[in-house]
Amino acid sequence: MENFIAGTLMLFSNSTSVLIFVGGLLGGMIFGAIPGVSMLTLAAILLPFTGHLSATDGIMLFSVIYCAGVFGGAITAILFNIPGAPENAPTAFDGYPMTQKGQAGKAVGAAVLCSAFGGTCSAILMMSATAVIANWAISAFGPPEVFALVFFGLAVASSVGAATLWKGWLSVLFGLMLATVGLDPVGGIERYDFDIPYLLAGIHFIPTILGFFAVSEVIIQMEKRARGTYEAPKVSLDFPSLVEFWRLKVAVIRSVVIGFFCGILPGIGAVLAAFMGYNEAVRWSRDKSKFGKGELEGVVSSETANNAATGAAMIPLLALGLPGGALTAMMVGVFQMHDMEPGPLVFINSGELIWVVFSAMFFANLCIFFLGWLQTKTVVHLLRIPFHFLAPAILMMATVGAYAIRGLTVDIVVMFIAGIAGFLLRRSGYSVAGIVLGIILGKIGEQTFAQAMQMLYYDPMEYLNRPIGLALILGGAATIVFNIYRALRFPAAARA
Amino acid sequence: MGLTRGQLFEVGFWLTFALGAFALTYQFNLEIEIYEFGAYGWPRGVILCIVIAVLGQVYHDVRFGQAHRAVIGEDEERPQHDASYILRMLAALGLPLAYALLLQPLGFYALTPLFILAFLYAAGERRWPWLLGVTAFIYGFLLIAFARLLYVGLPTGNVRPFYDFSNWLLVVIR
């Protein structure tokens, strides 16, 4: 506690640090809301300038951008079905249908509250036990466990948003197939590239997410206008009530645990956290069919989980020097620019830096609550703009977002093809959420499967010696068997 | 109970997709020294699961098809589509694709205002002041936000005079 107070005093007693804190917060929220551009772009732009800042201010700036950026993408996901980043994709599953039902204020309000809550809990957990948790997670979680986690996530995801269980599976499997395009993760052998150089690097998930969500949504709304059945969403500024939140307390706590846990795992981070948080909400729900149609619990679960991952992602970085994702890797760069190496020695040699960063993340999450509340009261009014005026703006933002990642016009073509495919698949009862999940988890899944098989000498029975992995594999298998049983016995009830 | 034409088409699509994807795995069925399953193991596993899921869907359609269609309202007659609907849907699907394909040669800066204008028209807007005003607003916002403030390098095209126009505009903006 003394360390935390000292870190807070250091942070707020220096006007430069305060300015950097506020700038990082606003910048992260704004950039996080722009698809494709994202907080990573802001971080990359700012990276060279951090050499002119003190090490403490530089690291603190990046940690604040991380917290605010993960939250920022939720707003566009909810209002326009455009996730600012992959970790906000599950927020759109239920957030956008809530907007269409005239509950945009409630959805954004829930995202604000849960992002702030998840992030704050994560920051507190991070402050209390960084070294202990990092050591445990790194030793207990190898590729076999990560693969088991992915398998478990995919098994649960098949029941989200499709007309039947089988179509849910086909959606996820289609995503897994798309993820195999490009070089295989072990031998670097070309697969499904049709001699097109662009496909060697695989299908990037940002254009596909933008296509499946934003572009397909625009086409669906255009179809409604052409049919004369379009209804503008009602604008509502109502925040969720305390009673509604109290009802979701279990989902929130579960998502904090899932988000924090996924965040610790290097290379997994907030994306898996958000999907797992959402999937678990579906799995534990008595009425799974309400998900994907505007269920508050869906928004709450994914936003709590992805923000809970932010603090956790700092644990392997600071305690072991292992970056878990692109932004934390840039933070290693900031450390190195100041002739420092993240790892256990940082706690001994630069304790004050660590505690300034911890307190900055804690206060950034609290600020998200107040700034997010203001944002809810203002940004929701964008929905008053007639959709046919918003549609080209959405398409243009998505176009810039798809192009900005790699500077390839092929990404824009991929995005629009994904949009048209998404439109046709959604009309036929398939789940674009499942496809996107398949694409994202497919890459992680195949890589960790290959590593796991090598580690286990190709003997699945070796899982008996790895209780965490075994529990996850059995949980996933049980979910599949239970879902098939329900689909065969009670097809109407099994409809996702 | 048989399958409807739409259901048959779906089954045919997935089986063709699975068969095609499986056939293509022979292009990369090379051994990897350090990995027993090779580059083809994972895709073939996924393809097998696709076939199982398709069979499950067929079973579902045959066994519960009618009841299920009744639940989700598929038995209701589909609305008849008039020429205006077809034209507008063709525009909604075709315009973005045409825009994406023309971006490389013509560039973002020259093509975007035309696309926004055409899309607004296809969406049913017929008032010229609104068509021009909204186009100018969105285009102006994109230029200021991305070309000037964020310095995002957008496609300039590679065909004259579009390429020259893009570069001229960038000089003016920046």
What would the pLDDT profile of A263-318 be if each residue is shown by its tens digit? 776 656 677 788 888 888 888 887 777 888 888 888 999 989 988 888 888 877 77
Report residue B25's pLDDT band, with 50, 70 and 90 as the boundaries: very high
Distance between B128 CA and the closest CA of chain A, angstroms? 13
Q: Is B26 exposed, middle or buried (0-12, 13-18, 19+ CB in 10 A)?
A: exposed
pLDDT, position B21: 95
Pick from A165, A199, A289, A416 the residue to mutate for testing the B interface (most B CBs within 10 Å): A416
- Test B96 with A409 for CB contact under 8 angstroms: no
- Test B141 with A177 for CB contact under 8 angstroms: no
Q: How far apart are CA A11 and CA A361, in angstroms?
A: 11
pLDDT, position B76: 47
Bridge partners of residue B35, in order along the sequence: B32
Q: Helices H, strands E: what count in chain A?
A: 23, 2
Taking contacts as CB-CB distances below 8 angstroms, the residues of chain A near B72 are: 163, 429, 495
Chain B residue with minimum CA distance to A447: B42
Please report the DSSP string for A200-244 in residue order: HT---HHHHHHIIIIIHHHHHHHHHHHHT---PPPP--PPPPHHH
Q: A236: Cβ–Cβ under 8 A, 6 or more apart, which residues?
A: A102, A103, A104, A105, A106, A380
Q: How far apart are CA B79 and CA A335, in angstroms?
A: 63
- Test B92 with A223 for CB contact under 8 angstroms: yes
User: Collapsing DSSP states into helix, strand and coil, what is residue A35?
Assistant: coil
User: Collapsing DSSP states into helix, strand and coil, what is residue A191?
Assistant: strand
Beta-sheet strands, E only, within A377-459: none
Q: B72: Cβ–Cβ under 8 A, 6 or more apart, which residues?
A: A163, A429, A495
Report residue A382's pLDDT band, with 50, 70 and 90 as the boundaries: confident
Which two three-digit tokens encode residue A15?
């006007």
For the cut 90, the answer to whether the pLDDT of residue A59 exceeds it is: no
Dihedral angle of Cα B64, B70, B72, B77, to the nearest 10 degrees: 130
What would the pLDDT profile of B131-148 be if each residue is shown by its tens digit? 999 999 999 998 988 888
Pick from A41, A210, A389, A453 the residue to mutate for testing the B interface (most B CBs within 10 Å): A389
For the cut 90, the answer to whether the pLDDT of residue B98 exceeds it is: yes
Q: Which long-range contacts (CB under 8 A, 24 or more apart) does B157-164 make?
A: B157/B103, B157/B104, B157/B105, B157/B106, B157/B107, B157/B108, B157/B109, B157/B110, B157/B111, B158/B104, B158/B105, B158/B107, B159/B105, B159/B106, B162/B105, B162/B106, B162/B107, B162/B110, B162/B111, B163/B107
- Test A170 with B54 for CB contact under 8 angstroms: yes
Backbone angles phi, psi at A141, to 5 degrees: -115, 100
- Test B28 with A454 for CB contact under 8 angstroms: no
For the cut 80, the answer to whether the pLDDT of residue A84 exceeds it is: no
- The percentage of chain A sitting over the pLDDT mark of 90, rounded to a whole number, equals 8
- Least confident interval from A21-35, A309-323, A458-472, B34-48: A309-323
- Test B54 with A495 for CB contact under 8 angstroms: no
Helix H or strand E segment including A183: strand A182-183
Chain A residue with minimum CA distance to B51: A170
Q: Which of A177, A396, A407 sits opposite B153 (nearest CB)?
A: A407
Please report the DSSP string for A340-352 in residue order: ---SHHHHHH-HH
- Arithmetic mean of pLDDT, A349-366: 84
Q: Taking a C-beta distance cutoff of 8 angstroms, is the pair B165, B109 a contact?
A: yes
Q: A422: Cβ–Cβ under 8 A, 6 or more apart, which residues?
A: A211, A212, A213, A215, A216, A432, A435
Question: Nearest CA to A260 among A245, A250, A272?
Answer: A272
- Test A180 with B42 for CB contact under 8 angstroms: yes
The mean predicted confidence, pLDDT, of chain A is 82
